[in-house]
Amino acid sequence: MSVIRILPEPVANQIAAGEVVDRPGSVAKELLENSLDAGALDVDIDVEGGGKRLIRVVDDGCGMTHDDALLAFERHATSKIRNADDLMGVRTLGFRGEALPSIAAVSRFILETRHASENSGTRLEISGGRLRDVKETAYAAGTSVEVRDLFFNTPARRKFLKSETTELGHIASLVTHYALAHPEKTFRLASLTYEILNVSPAANHRERLYQVMGGQTLDQLIEFGPVDRRMTQLADATTHEEPEPGVATEALAARIYGFVSRPEVQRLNRNQIYFFVNRRLARDRLVLHALGEAYRNILPSGMFPVALIFLELPPSEVDVNVHPAKTEVRFRHSSFVHDLVRDSIRQGLLAARPVPAFPMPRERACGAMERAEDMETRQELAEDAPTPTKSIYKSRARPPNTAEDSFRLIPPAPEPSTAPLPPPSPPASESPSGLMISPSASPPSSPPGEFPSNLQPLGQIEESFIVAANADGLWIIDQHVAHERILFERHLQQRSGARVEGQRLLLPIVTELRPEQQVVFQEIGQELTANGFEAEPFGQRTIAIKTAPADVRAEDAGKLLLEILDGVGADTRRLSLAELRGKIAASVACHAAIKVHTPLDENKMRWLLEALSRAACPMTCPHGRPVVLKYSLKEIQKAFKRI
Ligand code: ADP
Ligand code: MG
């Protein structure tokens, strides 16, 4: 008896759905891409319950004839390619013919559509992959797709969905970015309670960016390109692939343009890096790497920029059929693409900043710079410079260090603090410079792994790290993260008691929110209030911050709030209340803490060390970075070969 059987179509579709649609965001993506492929100029999206209850996409595209509307739900039914050869030159966003049957297999689905060639429209109702109803209907040209109760018949999948806020955040981010890629079109996205995005046709990407993100974000971005490049232009570069014989070089012309953030803008993750190939939102490690290279020595490692990169290539240069969700792409000439991304962004960054800000020896850099047309040369120069590991950042704050003063111990300043930060502490020890430690003055050593309360501050290195000692050994404390830890614990403690004290701002700070930030702001509003914020909606895209946590400087309040919203939004897990509070406290602490490159007098150093010794977890900052380095007496003696 045969045990193998062909699965019935609805089951096959449910299985396929697992690959194509894994969450409301991917449904929205497929529907939106279909509308764009249909030539729509106006796309209207409504969402309920984070897309779990409803996603409705209405477009004014070409629509479908009655027969096509029925055909569209067959597996692999597509109007976009005809044969395997067409796969090499896909110009549309879709081509696999899987989305509609897959989505309809796991939802209650209603399609209404009319093609210009027909007088009446078609209405189809499908539930869990089964056709329930087909009828003629009056419908304006275009298409409406309504997806209700996603995964209602696959409870296991439904369980894996994240909170409504997270899912809505994904949809908002997706629609926002398609809106950015298509400035000439109208996009609207609304949930039951409010409108998240509403943009009318814009003249160019810059104007669209302004509509979507607001002027504040735009100010943080540098526009680069368009840069056009053909393979032949790379003939003298050794690292690139040679054009393959028989491939016409004109076919390899590429264009790149977009926006990248100024070096001051630092993100903790890659969530705001968007890359489009032929206006298709794509994920690509190669491009992320190229972007990282472009920012080498500009951003500290572990920090990421904001980027919107638009790459246009002949369709035959891109394989989009790598993954069912079509977000991964493969390039035929990958190193060409890599270098194009790196060079054009690096060029944009350099052009937007005065060259002397780079840590290079002056005569050599300037003389050579004029001759150096290509970016590689500039980069090599930067690498040759004596301080290659210093980021541009540091050198902006301070002039580039010479080799001699790169390790400089600054003894504590004698004058007492005028800043409100440290409460008065006993006067400094007798040693005038604070550089001598008398072992007899030190109480017994602290248990290993604990931060002692008897540290003598000796001075600062780079006005960033406190050097201190006790009988146990030598300690180096990162002043920023140490203060961060102290403020973090204090903030959490205040919050667990009741509300955190807020400080009324002299003038409200008006801040623009991106659509996905608005979603998070609505969701966590109450918790923000309990953490010392008072902020109200102020126009469609802006909020006015009236009160901020007392530790934070007024001018930082806007940035802080945005960082909190991004931090929560980026988290795809459903955050528990405790986790949310932790995130908020960590952000507040980070903004309120003393910065690096800040001179501290002895009182302040003592205060900081003492407060740190009382912290519950003094050894790491709220983000997990180390606060303290210790060189024990034993290690020192060993190093000097005394034991
Ligand atoms: P694909 O997009 O890969 O072709 P889909 O399952 O997403 O596959 O859609 C199947 C077909 O249905 C499309 O090829 C297109 O012809 C038609 N279609 C889907 N959505 C729309 C729409 N919004 N407007 C017009 N035609 C559409
Ligand atoms: Mg499609």
Residue of minimum CA distance from atom 20 in ligand 1: 34
Task: Give the per-residue pLDDT at 94.
Answer: 79
Whole-angstrom Cα distance, residue 424 to residue 441? 21
Task: Give the per-residue pLDDT at 531.
Answer: 93
pLDDT at 433 over 50: no
Q: How confident is the model at residue 246 (pLDDT cuts 50, 70, 90)?
A: very low
Residue 369 and residue 450 share a domain:
no
Task: Tell which one of 19, 81, 98, 100 to mutate to probe ligand 1, the residue whose CB is within 8 A of the most ligand atoms.
Answer: 100
- Ligand 1 pocket member 143 (CB < 6 A): yes
Residue of minimum CA distance from atom 18 in ligand 1: 34
Residue 290 and residue 368 share a domain:
no
Whole-angstrom Cα distance, residue 31 to residue 147? 10
Closest ligand by atom to 100 CA: 1
- Ligand 1 pocket member 324 (CB < 6 A): no
- Taking residues 123-152, what's their average pLDDT? 94
In a domain? residue 502: yes
Per DSSP, the residues of 208-273 read HHHHHHHHHHHHTEEEEEEEEE-GGGGTT-TTSPPPPTT--GGGG-EEEEEEEE-TT--BSSSTTE
Residue 603 and residue 482 share a domain:
yes
pLDDT at 640 over 70: yes
Task: Give the per-residue pLDDT at 532.
Answer: 92
Residue 365 and residue 279 share a domain:
no
Each residue of 472-523: pLDDT tens digit? 899 999 999 999 999 999 998 888 887 788 889 888 898 988 888 888 888 8
In a domain? residue 553: yes
- Taking residues 587-601, what's their average pLDDT? 92
Task: Give the per-residue pLDDT at 643.
Answer: 85
* All residues at 6 or more sequence positions from 332 whose CB lies less than 8 Å from its CB, including other chains: 316, 317, 318, 319
pTM of the complete model:
0.65
In a domain? residue 585: yes
- Taking residues 385-409, what's their average pLDDT? 35
Segment 403-411 long-range contacts (CB within 8 Å, at least 24 positions apart): 407/461, 408/461, 408/462, 409/458, 409/459, 409/460, 409/461, 409/467, 410/459, 410/460, 410/461, 410/463, 410/599, 411/435, 411/458, 411/459
**Of ligand 1's atoms, which has the minimum distance to the CA of residue 101?**
6
pLDDT at 325 over 80: no
Q: How confident is the model at residue 410 (pLDDT cuts 50, 70, 90)?
A: low
In a domain? residue 42: yes
Residue 255 and residue 172 share a domain:
no
Most confident of the ranges 92-101, 278-287, 405-414: 278-287
**Alpha carbon distances (Å) from 578 to 260, 493, 549, 618:** 34, 12, 18, 20
**Of ligand 1's atoms, which has the minimum distance to the CA of residue 145?**
23
Residue of minimum CA distance from atom 25 in ligand 1: 63
Q: How many CA atoms lie within 13 A of 231 on its CB side?
A: 19
**Of ligand 1's atoms, which has the minimum distance to the CA of residue 33?**
2
* Range name among 203-207, 252-256, 358-362 with the lowest pLDDT average: 358-362
**Of ligand 1's atoms, which has the minimum distance to the CA of residue 97?**
8
What is the number of domains present in the chain?
A: 4
Q: How many Å lie between the centroid of ligand 2 and the Cα of residue 92? A: 9
Residue 429 and residue 371 share a domain:
no
- Ligand 1 pocket member 13 (CB < 6 A): no
pLDDT at 641 over 80: yes
Contact 337, 227 (CB under 8 A): no
Residue of minimum CA distance from atom 16 in ligand 1: 79
Residue 226 and residue 122 share a domain:
no
- Coil, strand or helix: which one is 336? helix
Q: Torsions phi, psi of 226, nearest 5?
A: -70, 140
Q: How confident is the model at residue 570 (pLDDT cuts 50, 70, 90)?
A: low
Task: Give the per-residue pLDDT at 603.
Answer: 92
Q: How many Å lie between the centroid of ligand 2 and the Cα of residue 138? A: 24
Whole-angstrom Cα distance, residue 126 to residue 73? 9
Q: How many Å lie between the centroid of ligand 2 and the Cα of residue 94? A: 4
* Range name among 6-10, 192-196, 385-389, 499-503 with the lowest pLDDT average: 385-389
* Range name among 192-196, 377-381, 583-587 with the lowest pLDDT average: 377-381
- Ligand 1 pocket member 38 (CB < 6 A): yes
Q: How confident is the model at residue 12 (pLDDT cuts 50, 70, 90)?
A: confident
* Range name among 163-177, 190-204, 331-345, 382-396 with the lowest pLDDT average: 382-396
- Ligand 1 pocket member 80 (CB < 6 A): yes
Q: What is the CATH number of the domain that holds 323?
A: 3.30.230.10
Bridge partners of 466, per DSSP, are 460, 477
Task: Give the per-residue pLDDT at 607.
Answer: 93
Beta pairing, strands 502-512 & 473-478:
unpaired
- Taking residues 212-234, what's their average pLDDT? 82
The beta strands (E) that lie in 313-363 are given as: 318-319, 330-331
| Residue entry with tokens 């004290």 | 501
* Range name among 172-176, 204-208, 341-345, 623-627 with the lowest pLDDT average: 623-627
In a domain? residue 281: yes
- The tokens for 87 are 């796969």
Of 624 and 514, which is predicted with more confidence? 514
pLDDT at 76 over 90: no
* All residues at 6 or more sequence positions from 4 whose CB lies less than 8 Å from its CB, including other chains: none
| Residue entry with tokens 């540098």 | 222
In a domain? residue 212: no
- Ligand 1 pocket member 142 (CB < 6 A): no
Residue 520 and residue 437 share a domain:
yes
**Alpha carbon distances (Å) from 365 to 344, 360, 391:** 20, 6, 16
Task: Give the per-residue pLDDT at 133.
Answer: 94
Residue of minimum CA distance from atom 21 in ligand 1: 34
Task: Give the per-residue pLDDT at 506.
Answer: 85
Q: What is the mean pLDDT of the chain?
A: 79
Q: How many Å lie between the centroid of ligand 2 and the Cα of residue 270? A: 27
Per DSSP, the residues of 369-407 read HHH--SHHHHHHHHHHSS-TTS-HHHHHHSPPPPSGGGS
* Range name among 16-30, 229-243, 437-451, 590-604 with the lowest pLDDT average: 437-451
Residue 236 and residue 150 share a domain:
no
pLDDT at 239 over 50: no
- Ligand 1 pocket member 92 (CB < 6 A): no
pLDDT at 601 over 90: yes
Q: How many Å lie between the centroid of ligand 1 and the Cα of residue 262? A: 40
Residue 441 and residue 344 share a domain:
no
| Residue entry with tokens 């966590």 | 524
- Ligand 1 pocket member 99 (CB < 6 A): yes
What residues make up the domain containing 363?
Answer: 359-386
Task: Give the per-residue pLDDT at 555.
Answer: 85
- Ligand 1 pocket member 63 (CB < 6 A): yes
Q: How many Å lie between the centroid of ligand 1 and the Cα of residue 72? A: 6
Task: Give the per-residue pLDDT at 327.
Answer: 73
Task: Give the per-residue pLDDT at 351.
Answer: 82
**Of ligand 1's atoms, which has the minimum distance to the CA of residue 59?**
23
Task: Give the per-residue pLDDT at 516.
Answer: 85
Task: Give the per-residue pLDDT at 85.
Answer: 74
pLDDT at 240 over 60: no
Q: How many Å lie between the centroid of ligand 1 and the Cα of residue 78? A: 6
**Of ligand 1's atoms, which has the minimum distance to the CA of residue 63?**
25
Q: How many Å lie between the centroid of ligand 1 and the Cα of residue 237? A: 43
The residue type at 370: E
Q: How many Å lie between the centroid of ligand 2 and the Cα of residue 34? A: 5
Each residue of 335-379: pLDDT tens digit? 999 999 999 999 998 887 633 333 333 333 333 333 333 333 333
- Taking residues 517-535, what's their average pLDDT? 90
Residue 625 and residue 492 share a domain:
yes
**Of ligand 1's atoms, which has the minimum distance to the CA of residue 30?**
7
- Ligand 1 pocket member 95 (CB < 6 A): yes
In a domain? residue 273: yes
- The tokens for 54 are 């409803």
- The residues placing their C-beta within 5 Å of ligand 2, an ion, are 34, 94, 99
Give the rounded distance of the alpha carbon of 562 from its chain centre. Answer: 12
Task: Give the per-residue pLDDT at 160.
Answer: 74
pLDDT at 334 over 50: yes
Whole-angstrom Cα distance, residue 607 to residue 621? 17
Q: How many Å lie between the centroid of ligand 2 and the Cα of residue 589? A: 46
Residue of minimum CA distance from atom 13 in ligand 1: 78
CB atoms under 10 Å from CB of 231, counted, come to 21
Each residue of 81-128: pLDDT tens digit? 777 777 677 778 877 788 899 999 999 999 999 999 999 999 999 999
- Taking residues 396-413, what's their average pLDDT? 42
Q: How confident is the model at residue 197 (pLDDT cuts 50, 70, 90)?
A: very high
Give the CA angle between residues 417, 420, 421 to the nearest 5°.
Answer: 85
- The tokens for 355 are 């060259």
Task: Give the per-residue pLDDT at 573.
Answer: 54
Residue 64 and residue 27 share a domain:
yes
CB atoms under 10 Å from CB of 71, counted, come to 15
Closest CA to 38 of 177, 143, 163, 188: 143
Task: Give the per-residue pLDDT at 411.
Answer: 59
In a domain? residue 206: no
